[in-house]
A and B are shown apart, each in its own frame.
Chain A
Amino acid sequence: MSNRMHLNRRHLLGGATAGAAAFALAACSRTDQGDGSGNGLLEQAQDGGKLRIAYANEAPYAYTADDESVTGQSVAVQLYLLDKLGIKADQIEWKLTEWESLISGLGTNHDMVIAGMYVTSERCDAVAFANPDYIMPDALMVQAGNPGGWTTLNAMAETDGVIGVMNGTSEQEVADAIFDAERINVQADLSGLILELKSGRCDAIGLTSANLRLAAEADPEVEVTEGFWLVDPESGEDMIGAGAAVFQPADTGFRDAVNEELEKLLADTPTWEGLVSEYGFTVEENHPEGLTAEDLCPDTYQ
């Protein structure tokens, strides 16, 4: 289940509700701290205080490992940045939190979110995003050699190809909008989809590239195409999946300090790769290359 959730985190319905709640909370803490620059939390943490960080147990971003430690791509990157700011791992109090409560519990249950959460304009309205520490394009899984020459979901919709999607994902949502119903093959999980692909009942599987690559690694009968961005069928814009750490709007000072360290880290590609490669992330596909949170939500960024 958790595997399925991260595929479509960009669609947090009720974002408005969460937004309102988070706004109310943010407003409170602003008055509490009485510090417009909002450096209170950062200073407290740098003085050795506790820092409460929420995660939603989603591999490969932030999850509880077999040895009970919290790990993942986003955790590795953010802990590195916090360490650079003088905040040690033992100061962190991890809060395993339902995905739905990551934003609404900000300020009460936890001070920061490390969950690889996608930056969306709805969420920017409610929280202060750091800059993305990874991007996650989509890809197609096809039969080895790509006999159909499939490239993207939209190009495929123009042909008579059958697309395989997982139930409940944003790939399914896009496919529903651009494919005829009889040309969409829906399965509950990726292994079911791969069986459909091999038996020829679908021509390609659309999903986030990291998941597809992980599944295709040990299977010579299939391969994964180059990454591409899903296109929002309503606005016609690319749906860029880029994940970042989340702060309260009152803690923008803290956020800016993290951004500064992140910029240094991303410029030092080998170090970044060293932190994230074990979770299946690659420089070619997942490096944000200067993409900022403000780029992703120009109207609502705070």
Chain B
Amino acid sequence: MNEWNNEIVVEIFPAMWQGFIVVLQVTLVAGLIAVLLGLLVAVGLRIGPPWLRRVLSAVFQFIRNTPLLVQVLFVWTATSYYINPEWSAFAVGSAVLGVHYASYTMESYRAGIEAIPVGQWEAATALSLPTHRVWGAIVLPQMLRRSAAAVANWIIAMFKEVPTLFVIGVLEMIAQAQKYQGQHYDGAVEGYTIAGILFLAASYPVAVAARRLENRLAKSNF
């Protein structure tokens, strides 16, 4: 009974695929948050007033140093009780995941900013360039190229963490596999294998692309 069964694979696949689509949707929403919020925070840490820098730094330090699972459960429970119980698990879960990974991407952006030679900052000051020109024309274009590969890797890592959201009822792939198992007492090996293959099929091409990008940027002189 516990041997590999192709019929189960056929039976379970539509549900797994449905779960996979949910994973991709979460990744899209949370990924946008992680990419944009991380950038905002990285810039804020560079040019914001001292009090803002201290607050941002403390908040994101805290987020980075507590487990994602705890954050998901805490925010879900807190929003249910005190803010708005109508918010969906998908929305709350995606937001928490995105903010959590923003705390990592901001570090990659920061590294990109700090890699810009001090001479360029001095030159910008000497020329009295306005702040928006300094960032828009000089810092961001270089920094984004330097950070792109690292940020892409964080997004892949985040993609693989989506099943964490099952604890608040987001029916992703692992939930679908467990549903089948619970109702049929079978299909554990098949379900988890399909989940693994789908994750690999989606993340491997992105990982290869990120590596290529990294190599190309390393060769170009900027």
Contacts and interface: CB of A to CB of B under 8 A. Distances in A.
- A, B co-complexed: yes
Contacts of A167: 171, 175, 178-179, 182
A100 B169 contact: no
Interface in B160-198: 166-169, 171, 175, 178-186
Contact of B1 (A101, A172, A185, A201): A101
A15 to B, nearest CB: 9
A14 B179 contact: no
Contact of B169 (A99, A168, A186, A198): A186
Q: How big is chain B's contact interface, by range?
A: 20 to 34
A186 B170 CA distance: 8
A192 B167 contact: yes
A197 to B, nearest CB: 11
Interface stretch (A3-11, A42-50, A140-148, A263-271): A3-11
Interface of A, helix, strand, loop or mixed by DSSP: mixed
B85 interface: yes
Interface string A12-34: 11100110000000000000000
Contacts of A196: 80, 169
B1 A17 contact: yes
B81 interface: yes
B186 A188 contact: no
A172 B77 contact: no
Contacts of B2: 98, 100
Interface string B73-116: 00001001100011000000000000000000000000000000
Interface residues of A, number: 34
A187 interface: yes
Given A185-B169, A195-B77, A14 B182 contact: no
Given A14-B185, A167-B182, A169-B182, A188 B80 contact: no
Contact of B81 (A9, A192, A199): A199
28 contacts: A4-B182, A8-B183, A12-B185, A13-B186, A17-B1, A100-B1, A104-B1, A166-B182, A167-B171, A167-B175, A167-B178, A167-B182, A168-B178, A168-B179, A173-B183, A186-B169, A187-B168, A188-B167, A188-B175, A192-B167, A192-B168, A192-B169, A195-B77, A196-B80, A199-B80, A199-B85, A200-B85, A201-B80
Interface of B: 1-2, 77, 80-81, 85-86, 166-169, 171, 175, 178-186
Interface of A: 4-5, 7-9, 11-14, 17-18, 98-101, 104, 166-170, 172-173, 185-188, 192, 195-196, 198-201
